[in-house]
Amino acid sequence: MAKLQDKVERYSPLIGEPFPELTVQSTHGKRTLPHDYAGRWFILFSHPADFTPVCTTEFVAFARKHQEFKELNCELIGLSVDQVFSHIKWAEWIKDNLGVEIPFPIIADTGQIAAELGMIHPAKGTNTVRSVFVVDDKGIIRVILYYPQEVGRNIGEILRIVRALQTSDANGAAMPADWPQNELIGDAVIIPPPTDEQTARERQKTYTCYDWWFCYRKLS
C-alpha cells in the first residue's frame, strides 16, 4: 500500500496529456496555466536555483532566443523553488552585470507546483531539476525533457523542437534526426508509413523513397 501511495504522489504529467490547471505567482504577476496562454504555445522550464552559474547562463541564452520563440507563437516561462523577490533581484543582477534583460515571467514556487509536475528529484533535496515542458496551443504537453543539474540546456535544440513539432502538425509528417539538416534527406519530411499494400505499392510513384516504408518529400 505504501509503495502504491508513493507512486501516486510522484505521478507527473505525460506527453499527450493536457497540461494541468495551475494558478501561479510570477515576476509578471499571477498567471493561470494553461488558460492564460490559450492559442499560444509555451515552454515551462525549471532551474535548480537563482544566483547559480549554470542557471544564469541558461537564462541569458533563453532571453537572447526569446524573439525567435515569439515568432513561433511560443512563450517562455521559468520556475524554481525560490521566492518572487529572489527572482526579481536575480533578473536585475543579470541585467546590471551581463546586459541582458529577462523578458519572460519566472514562477515563484513553494515546491508544490514542482512536485506536481515531477520537477523534484528525491536525491536532489528541494531543488528542481532542469525540466522542460513544451505545451502546444491547445494546452497539450508535446515534449518533456529532463537535464541533470550539472549540464545546462541547449536552447537552440528546444527552439528546433518547437519548429519541428509545428512543421509536423502542419504537414502531417514526421521529422528526421537533426532536422532540418539530416544527413540522409536534408530538410525534407518523412511520409507516415502506409497502412495497406496498395498504398505501399503506389507511394514510390508519388514520393522520393529509399523503400516503400521510407519515403519523404520536400516542403513547398
Instruction: Just list the catalytic residues.
Output: 55
Distance CA 37, CA 211 (A): 42
Of residues 64, 78, 70, the one with CA closest to residue 113: 78
Distance CA 165, CA 171 (A): 10
Of residues 218, 57, 63, the one with CA closest to residue 150: 57
Give residue 62's Cα distance to chain centre. 12
Give residue 48's Cα distance to chain centre. 17
Query: Amino acid identity, residue 194?
Result: P
The answer for residues whose C-beta is within 8 angstroms of residue 72's C-beta and 6 or more apart is 41, 159, 162, 163, 166
Reported as type and span, the H/E element at residue 209 is strand 208-211
Reported as type and span, the H/E element at residue 135 is strand 130-135
